[in-house]
Structure 1
């Protein structure tokens, strides 16, 4: 299969599996991608999600042959994005569980945009990020102009968007584009291990934290504080809160049920 979705230890893994094409995605893969995200959203057994590519690449964007099937009109190109590609971003926005990208190689164009949608990006030194749209006379089509300034700041984002320059794994870590750097051979294992660590936390509280951060980026302090006060009321009423307090007092690991 060109896209695989598996679940183990409360962690879902979406793996792009076209290594011979540097995991460029087809429209059929986008359908499977949407189905995997919807499954992860609806499945309480899934508490964290990892996005990775097979064969040393992350994703080189949309398969060019797919673009050639689109009628050469402005409206057709717009609908290709809004109806086929952008639903991934909208589902990621709906996802209330941690989503981590494991980027061990090329992530360019829409492939980089897909990595930017994730909450964190773990990389190897071989990672290669580029918003290369400008080099082929295009503009960032899958959210890059939205996500990148929020991650690296507006000035750096404009530099990367306007030049299409390549950023390797170490530079990505330095500028805040990446969260952690691991050797290529252990990247996926380390990413899955971290996802399992998050999955072992009280799941409702992880979801509340993610909600507060996501909502807070586009709201006032007053609105953010009002939201977190409601979240705190919910958190303190859960069985997991009482279990966490008991575990802390008794100096043992908590066992969380998501309630």
Structure 2
């Protein structure tokens, strides 16, 4: 184990620089699917992002012509009597080094659910740089990120219905909140593809760039966020998401509680000193 989750990665390319952890799905020949082995690796990377204070922003992207094609459709079509271990109904229990005792005692099966929840809980900015097709769980993991930036070649699909399934990896939660109930239901009912420009029009992504500009522009934003005050960014993310389920008085109670804490941080003092001295602030996260 290392501060980046693992000494080496097989199914992902993982790099860290300027406070930004980039996790690149790296099985391009198979369109970057989620397999049992790749999910184990991704769990370690997400744990590193959560617990390494030097990591301030997480970026997810893909290699080749796909961001991620999602679940392993071949395994889903090959379930045998007694189970082969790869089908979602036959999955083994989660067993990665970073698990707590409580997580082990829950006997949770190895599915995308734990990955999506870990990404959703991460109190740091997350960006999906969607370089190509994002289908099923591949689309869902992009929806779990705070910001989505797309290459012109990117395409999205809630492909589950074409397999006789529902979006069970978070799409039914995130998609209506992003594009509205009517459009979300249409996309989930049909499994239709949405290209990058339509995704931008719907608010599914916040920007579309030529393929060659995707990562430079994404990293430009990621580094800008990584240079910001970590505690304030964490509070913005945490409270904004919680506020979707709360009324205004409840939200104001949370925001004033967070503000009282933030007023006492070294980062707030540094921000005010930098403002007075007309210089860039250097935040430490305290």
Q: 1:41 aligns with which of 47, 50, 62?
A: 50
Residue 187 (str. 1) matches residue 214 (str. 2): yes
| Contact 2:135–2:159 (8 Å) recurs in 1 | yes
How far off is 1:24 after superposition? 1.3
Unaligned runs of 5+ in 1: none
How far off is 1:141 after superposition? 2.0
Q: CA, structure 1 residues 243+43, in 2 after alignment: closer, same or farther (shift >3 Å)?
A: same
How far off is 1:67 after superposition? 2.8
- 1:52 is aligned to 61
TM, length-normalised to structure 1: 0.94
- 2:241 is aligned to 214
**Structure 1 stretches (4+) deviating beyond 6 angstroms?**
none
- 2:198 is aligned to 171
1:214-233 to 2 correspondences below 5 Å: 214-233=241-260
- 2:103 is aligned to none
| Contact 2:56–2:125 (8 Å) recurs in 1 | yes
**1:90-139 CA-partner distances (Å, limit 9, x unpaired):** 11122100110000210011111111111110001111000011122111
- 1:239 is aligned to 266
- 1:11 is aligned to 20
Q: Separation in 2 of the partners of 1:29 and 1:83? A: 11
The number of aligned residues is 258
Question: Which of the two has greater helix per residue?
Answer: 1
**1:55-85 CA-partner distances (Å, limit 9, x unpaired):** 1310001122333565569xx7457495321
Q: CA, structure 1 residues 78+148, in 2 after alignment: closer, same or farther (shift >3 Å)?
A: farther
Q: Separation in 2 of the partners of 1:239 and 1:224? A: 25
Residue 153 (str. 1) matches residue 162 (str. 2): no
- 1:248 is aligned to 275
Residue 124 (str. 1) matches residue 146 (str. 2): no
Alignment partner of 1:96: what SS?
coil
Unaligned runs of 5+ in 2: 1-9, 92-107
- Provide the alpha-carbon RMSD of the alignment: 1.8
Residue 136 (str. 1) matches residue 163 (str. 2): yes
Q: Separation in 1 of the partners of 2:162 and 2:238? A: 36
| Contact 1:3–1:14 (8 Å) recurs in 2 | yes
Please identify, of 216-225 and 77-86, the stretch whose mean Cα deviation from structure 2 is larger: 77-86
| Contact 2:69–2:134 (8 Å) recurs in 1 | yes
| Contact 1:27–1:66 (8 Å) recurs in 2 | no
| Contact 1:202–1:257 (8 Å) recurs in 2 | yes
Q: Separation in 2 of the partners of 1:139 and 1:163? A: 11
Q: Separation in 2 of the partners of 1:70 and 1:230? A: 51
**1:169-214 CA-partner distances (Å, limit 9, x unpaired):** 1111111000111111110121112111000001111111111111
